[in-house]
Amino acid sequence: MGPLQAVRLALATLLVVNSAVSADECQPETWRLRTLRPGDINCRLSTVTEPQVNSTTCAFLANKYHTTVDTFLDLNPGLDCDSIEPDTRYCVEGFHEPLRASNGLCGPNNGNATCVGTDKQCCNKITWKCGDTTYVQF
């Protein structure tokens, strides 16, 4: 069998295998909208622990995801390394949701609200109001 026939056979086999896949095996991911309050954990990446865990699993996960054990514990409130569960999803990358300046007022005079995530991304350090960045040439 020549190279061209081998490629044709491989493609034909691929078509047969792909057509045999059940329609319900490939379903779209469903996302749920979740409202976060200031201080809530906004988890950006999570992982599931192995079937066998022990008190060193926290350090293993922290190292694997390039963080510290303290940060790992902070992202998983109520967890301590002696009570980590097998086959359980834990947050490994995220942050505490900040207070968003939904009323347009930001900075230390307004509970340290941030403009990030609003229509106006910048906080003016004189007026403590969210606005656009303006570049001035001198």
d(CA 47, CA 125): 39
Question: 0.85 exceeded by the pTM?
Answer: no
| pLDDT one-digit tens code per residue, 25-69 | 777 767 676 788 999 999 999 999 999 999 999 999 999 999 999
- The tokens of 88 are what? 């359980």
Element (H, E) at 63: helix 57-64
127-132 — which CB contacts under 8 Å span 24+ positions?
A: 129/104, 129/105, 130/101, 130/104, 130/105, 130/106
d(CA 116, CA 100): 7
Top-confidence residue, 26 or 12: 26
Please, what are the domains in the chain?
41-96 (3.10.350), 100-138 (no CATH)
